Amino acid sequence: MIMIDTIFTPWQSLAGGALIGLASVLLMLTLGRILGATGILAGVLTPTTHPDTGWRLAVLAGMVTGPLAVLALTGQMPVVQVPVTLPMLLIGGFLVGIGVTYGSGCTSGHGVCGMARLSRRSIAATATFMVTTAITVFIIRHVLGA
Partner 1 sequence: MRYVTSYVIGLIFGIGISISGMANPAKVLNFFDVAGNWDPSLIFVMGGALVVTFIGYRFVLRRTAPIVDATFHLPDNPHLDMRLLGGAAVFGIGWGITGFCPGGALPALGTGRFEVVAFVAALIAGIFAAKALMALTGTRAARVLRRET
73-112: which residues touch partner 1 (CB under 8 A)? 77-84, 86, 88-104, 106-108, 110-112
Q: Which of 20, 45, 8, 11 is nearest to 111 (CA)?
A: 20
| Residue 47 makes contact with partner 1 by CB under 8 A | no
> 19 with 108: CB under 8 angstroms?
no
The HSE-up count of residue 33 (CA atoms within 13 Å, CB side) is: 15
The distance of closest approach from Cβ of residue 49 to partner 1 in the complex, given in angstroms and rounded to an integer, is 15
* CB nearer partner 1, residue 11 or residue 49: 11
* CB nearer partner 1, residue 46 or residue 49: 46
Contacts of 52 (CB under 8 A, 6+ apart): 43
| Residue 38 makes contact with partner 1 by CB under 8 A | yes
